[in-house]
Amino acid sequence: MSNAPDIAELEQRLVAGDRAALAKAITLVESRRPDHQAAARALLERIMPRTGNAQRVGVTGVPGAGKSTTIEALGCNLTAAGHKVAVLAVDPSSGRTGGSILGDKTRMERLAQDRNAYIRPSPSGGALGGVARKTREAMLLCEAAGFDVIIVETVGVGQSETVVAEMVDIFLALLIPGGGDELQGIKKGLIEIADLIVINKADADPDKARRSARDYKAALHIIAPAHPNWTPPVLTASGLKNEGLDALWQTIQRHREVMTANGHRAARRADQNARWMWAQVTDRLGQAFRAHPEVAALAPELERQVRTGRVPPSTAADRLLKAFGLS
């Protein structure tokens, strides 16, 4: 896109369900050009009234848990039932590996060919915060385009799991059957933020999967639930065999009903929007700070002095902030 697009025309095509317009709009929000960023903000402001109606589902899981296989099977089930499904990605590792979480869609080939589905890998490169911002904005664009189920997948660990949990209505941890010590390999933090746990690949060894489910249920009993009205269920499923996915979707819908009735769903989104606002402020301030001429002139030498131990980091930060105009 060499020139900023006609925002009114792009909005009209987007809300009409034009997939090319959706792709163009997401490319616009991913662009780092100042004029494109301004155009993206204008577009997002125009489409906001058409957003917020989708079911937002976050999915994470241990390596080899079968996330892509399960998401594809669930997505195909949902489109067959009349839903429109968008799959987005948060992949903080893509800048290092040069690849994308979805392997250029080849791992979800059947869903990628479905006219009622849309798959968008995360942009490669950039910090996790930037990738998350683009994913949030892509989610809004997909909702405006008529997608009523948004699945956000992460292959990252640690912070990426928390970031995804903070942009969805329900956060799903996809795990695999294991031995009696399998809980040692799962961080307590993941269990604490998951709204739903699914033991996948249950077809390979149903008994082992059931034992694993019991282990996780026992572990959840010693962790105070995040919400008094919802104790995270533990289900077994097979994405490969498309088994247990109807029960999974029913549980996701039950979570929506419970959290809507007690007001938590609306409160969760309100909190997410407020945190998103402040994250945007921090992001934009950081960009402005680094681009400031006096800061840019001082920063390389100050960083070298900090790296060699000649100047304390606090002193260097103070000099940079003064250069920016802050005392």
Domain with residue 91: its CATH number is 3.40.50.300
Residues 101, 214, single domain; the answer is yes
> Per the domain annotation, does 320 fall within a domain?
yes
* Residue 148 confidence (pLDDT): 97
**pLDDT at 141 exceeding the cut of 80:** yes
> Per the domain annotation, does 269 fall within a domain?
no
* Residue 93 confidence (pLDDT): 58
- The 10s digit of each residue's pLDDT in 82-129 is 999 999 988 665 544 444 444 545 578 899 999 999 999 876 555 666
> Per the domain annotation, does 163 fall within a domain?
yes
Residues 67, 33, single domain; the answer is no
Per the CB < 8 A criterion, the answer to whether 192 and 226 are in contact is: yes
> Per the domain annotation, does 268 fall within a domain?
no
Structural domains in the chain (count): 3
- Phi-psi group of 113: left, alpha or beta (phi > 0 → left; psi -120 to 50 → alpha; rest → beta): alpha
Cβ atoms within 10 A of the Cβ of 73, count?
23
**E strand segments, the chain:** 55-61, 85-90, 117-120, 149-154, 170-175, 196-199, 234-236
What is the distance between the alpha carbons of residues 122 and 137, in angstroms, rounded to a whole number? 12
Last residue of a domain, one of 230, 261, 292: 261
- The 10s digit of each residue's pLDDT in 281-294 is 988 899 899 999 99
Residues 192, 216, single domain; the answer is yes
Residues 36, 84, single domain; the answer is no
Among the residue ranges 10-14, 56-60, 104-108, 136-140, the one predicted with the least confidence is 104-108
What residues have CB less than 8 Å from 62, skipping those under 6 apart?
174, 175, 176, 185, 186
Give percent of the chain with pLDDT exceeding 90.
59
Residues 33, 98, single domain; the answer is no
> Per the domain annotation, does 267 fall within a domain?
no
Residues 173, 137, single domain; the answer is yes
> Per the domain annotation, does 270 fall within a domain?
no
Residues 220, 140, single domain; the answer is yes
Residues 252, 293, single domain; the answer is no
User: Helix 264-291 and helix 293-307: axis angle, to 10°?
Assistant: 90
Last residue of a domain, one of 219, 234, 261: 261
What residues have CB less than 8 Å from 226, skipping those under 6 apart?
192, 193, 195
Which residue in this structure is represented by tokens 């792009």?
10
* Closest by Cα among 37, 64, 18 to 174: 64
Residues 96, 210, single domain; the answer is yes
10: domain CATH number is: 1.20.5.170
- The 10s digit of each residue's pLDDT in 157-198 is 566 788 888 899 999 999 888 744 455 455 566 777 889 999
> Per the domain annotation, does 311 fall within a domain?
yes
269 — pLDDT class (breaks 50, 70, 90): very high
Long-range contacts of 290-293 (CB under 8 A, 24+ apart): 292/323, 292/324
> Per the domain annotation, does 109 fall within a domain?
yes
Cβ atoms within 10 A of the Cβ of 228, count?
9
Residues 231, 305, single domain; the answer is no
Residues 197, 301, single domain; the answer is no
pTM for the whole thing?
0.87
Residues 190, 228, single domain; the answer is yes
Residue 183 structural domain? 52-261
Last residue of a domain, one of 261, 291, 310: 261
- The 10s digit of each residue's pLDDT in 10-26 is 999 999 999 999 999 99
Return the H-helix or E-strand segment holding 200.
none
